[in-house]
Amino acid sequence: MEQVMTAAGIASRAQRERAESFRDHNRAVFDAQRRARRGPTPEIFFTKHLDNTRLVKADDPERRKEVRSFTIAMTILFLLTMTYVWQHFSSIELGYSIEAQKIQVDHLREENRQLRLTEAQLADPDRIDRIAKQLGLDMPQPGQVIRPELTYTGGEGVLAEAKVPAQLSR
């Protein structure tokens, strides 16, 4: 227990000595700064008004040429950079547009496939027969179906004629 107290006492004594050392150092620096001042008061600065209206700046043609050359070079560099940036963003935009169109083509292909499948299902002869029977329709009797005659031989043009079917003319 005594060792702990002595260790604590040594630590607190070291802290006090260090604090006194810092205090002495700061006091010495402050005294040195006070001695460096001119008199008991700090320096006072007064503003001085200068009239430079009569001064004329001499024109330097060489400097003007340098500034003009620098301005032209920076303008060209700026334009080249902006052209590159514009092309870069345009290519990115076109890439997005192409991807969107690819997705649209895939969607349209899928829709086309679905429509063909629906067409095949609707054109199924068994389905048509089943619906016809539900509606009370029967198979056509012989002579009920009239097929157009194919008389065109492929030569000259043929004029259209209205022929009355044989059953109707009776």
Mean pLDDT for the chain?
Answer: 83
Backbone angles phi, psi at 101, to 5 degrees: -70, -35
Contact 148, 166 (CB under 8 A): no
> Is 90 exceeded by the pLDDT of residue 83?
yes
> Is 90 exceeded by the pLDDT of residue 69?
yes
Task: State the pLDDT at residue 145.
Answer: 79
Contact 121, 115 (CB under 8 A): no
State the pLDDT confidence band at 42, using cuts at 50, 70 and 90. low
This prediction has a pTM of: 0.41
Contact 130, 136 (CB under 8 A): no
21, 118, 167, 168 from 164: Cα distances, Å: 133, 38, 8, 7
Task: State the pLDDT at residue 47.
Answer: 79
Mean pLDDT over 142-165 rounds to: 66
CA 134 to chain centroid: 59
> Is 60 exceeded by the pLDDT of residue 107?
yes
